[in-house]
Amino acid sequence: MVRQEEGEAVIRRIIHVDMDAFYASVEQRDDPALRGRPVAVGGSRQRGVVAAASYEARQYGVRSAMPSVTARRKCPELLFVPPRFDVYRAVSAQIHAIFARYTKLIQPLSLDEAYLDVTVPLVAHPSATAIAEEIRAAIRAETGLTASAGVSYNKFLAKLASDHRKPDGLYVITPRMGPRFVEGLPVERFHGIGPATAARMHALGIRTGLDLREWDMERLARHFGRAAAFYHGIARGLDERPVEPDRKRKSIGAERTLEQDIHHWDQALAVLDALVDRVWEASGRRGLSGRTVTVKIRYADFRHTGRARSLPSPISSRADLREIATGLMRPFFPPERGVRLLGVTLSNLDSQEAAASGTQFALELEAP
């Protein structure tokens, strides 16, 4: 929450900026015929996947990473448009240039969101809130898009704040508000607690921030290991993580805990396809590709295994990622015991520009 500067405690001022339905909003901006209509960026065929959905589409329950057939069933009027990652990267560069007017401490999370530490800004301003308002106004004026922003004294709360008034909103969580704001939220809303961890917490009777706060460190550590300190802190509105401008993502992965154990290859392949789609969509959204593919298997008795393969150059298509992941997974089937979890991870990451080696890196959202 605080850091020391010249012997004096200074409350950090953190802004989290998150573009509103970024890909879909860019498409609606550039094509007036799409404005006000439910739009999905992605492939519309049988094996297509939604990469992003406009707010009009979200009202029908359409979400990113959803199979296109499911999205079409939820919203028959849904309009599919193919992704244009070169355009999204260019707009993202505009937005990050705006951030750079106010601070050098910028930690991008993806093309459409970032943390900014404006404790000591590059320009004189009365408050972080005023800076956030000015950034949102500049984004609207220079890109024609809207952004939501959260302002707080740490990264965890700043991200919660940016979600609180979406779309096109601004919310501030002060040090006095922090613990009270957290205590009423369901744990699945906490950044850093994924679906699997939330399910484990629910099974232990932890459903809200207040429930989590009632657990001491020793008890949390028994159930959650090294993550216990982080969970202990955020339940109290505390997060000491700094904004890291040079932080590089090490891997992009997806895994799925199955409702019922599986034993057959065709079952595994269906799950594997969905995982590959999620990893590929996430890597495209962040402008990254990787050279190493890892598959993970956890059996019904909680033993786990896996295999990895590294290539001399980054993977350039979803079809290649699927082929490699399939080859790595195939020798484990048929398994001697039931399988309860499958996972796919892409690592040894490079930027899309490096991955493409001069050619366009494209997210394949349709079946090869």
Annotated binding site: 18, 112
DSSP letters, 161-219, are: HHHHT-SS-EEE--TTTHHHHHHTSBGGGSTT--HHHHHHHHHTT--BHHHHHTS-HHH
Residue 22 and residue 344 in contact, taking contact as beta carbons nearer than 8 Å: no
- Structural Rg of the chain based on CA atoms: 22
CB atoms within 10 A of CB 106: 19
Distances (CA, A) of 36 to 53, 71, 165, 199, 352: 12, 18, 20, 36, 31
Distance CA 244, CA 263 (A): 43
Going by the annotation, the residues of the binding site for Mg(2+) are: 18, 112
Distances (CA, A) of 76 to 14, 55, 219, 294: 41, 15, 49, 37
Among 5, 8, 27, 113, which one carries the catalytic annotation? 113
DSSP letters, 243-287, are: P-TT----EEEEEEEEEEEE-SHHHHHHHHHHHHHHHHHHHHHTT
Active site residue 255: no
Distances (CA, A) of 175 to 44, 253, 274: 46, 34, 41
Residue 190 and residue 44 in contact, taking contact as beta carbons nearer than 8 Å: no
Q: Phi and psi dihedrals of 106, rounded to 5?
A: -125, 125
Q: Directed axis angle between helix 22-30 and helix 85-99, to 10°?
A: 110
DSSP state at residue 364:
-
Q: Which residues are catalytic?
A: 113
